[in-house]
């Protein structure tokens, strides 16, 4: 129906296109998979053989007491990327604070759609369980109180600009 396409703005369409292509890349690994059937079989195997993968990864931190004041980590933005893109310092299951400053100004006819950003954290990669979903902000600073995360390297991105990504390295306890 023609009236539906009129409601879909070009900016929204391109954002959805970016998101879907990122998801496609994340789920398939490479664009040149050996064969479609091999990929389907692999996905099915993962889904059925690891039911615990859908469980909340934060559950391992239940009952862990915070030690001292939470670590504060400053994260900024520089032209629609995180600065720094690799966050180090958090310890296994210890809450920390991200002091997030968005310094990208609003502008008319922004090819990126909006200058607003947030920090979303997922377990290990883009399709991992959600660990933290920070409030979206314009050009300002916000304090994100992030719960203790399990040790490992987790995936950080802006949910309005999925190509805007980073990593959070969480060290093992006692390290």
Is residue 112 involved in binding Cu ion (CB under 5 A)? no
Is residue 158 involved in binding Cu ion (CB under 5 A)? yes
Q: How far apart are CA 57 and CA 9, in angstroms?
A: 37
Is residue 77 involved in binding Cu ion (CB under 5 A)? no
Considering only 160, 166, 168, 170, the residue that binds Cu ion (CB under 5 A) is 160
Q: Which residues of 57-78 are buried (b: 16+ CB within 10 A; e: fewer)?
A: bbeebeeeeeeeebeebebebe
* Shortest distance in whole angstroms from residue 160 CB to Cu ion: 4
Is residue 161 involved in binding Cu ion (CB under 5 A)? yes
Residue closer to Cu ion, measured from CB, 146 or 158: 158
Is residue 117 involved in binding Cu ion (CB under 5 A)? yes
Query: Residue 92 in contact with residue 147, Cβ under 8 Å?
Result: no
Q: How far apart are CA 127 and CA 57, in angstroms?
A: 13
Q: What residue ranges bind Cu ion (CB under 5 A)?
A: 117, 158, 160-161
């Amino acid at each position: 129906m023609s009236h539906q396409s009129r409601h879909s703005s070009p900016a929204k369409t391109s954002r959805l296109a970016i998101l879907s292509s990122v998801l496609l890349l994340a789920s398939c690994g490479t664009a040149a998979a050996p064969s479609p059937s091999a990929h389907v079989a692999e996905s099915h195997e993962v889904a059925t053989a690891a039911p615990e993968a859908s469980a909340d990864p934060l559950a391992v931190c239940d009952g862990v007491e915070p030690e001292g004041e939470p670590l504060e980590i400053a994260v900024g933005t520089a032209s629609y990327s995180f600065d720094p893109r690799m966050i180090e310092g958090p310890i296994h299951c210890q809450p920390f604070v991200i002091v997030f400053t968005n310094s990208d100004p609003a502008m008319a006819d922004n090819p990126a759609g909006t200058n607003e950003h947030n920090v979303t954290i997922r377990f290990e990669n883009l399709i991992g369980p959600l660990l933290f979903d920070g409030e979206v902000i314009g050009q300002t600073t916000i304090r994100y109180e992030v719960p203790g995360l399990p040790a490992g390297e987790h995936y950080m991105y802006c949910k309005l600009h999925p190509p805007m990504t980073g990593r959070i390295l969480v060290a093992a306890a006692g390290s």
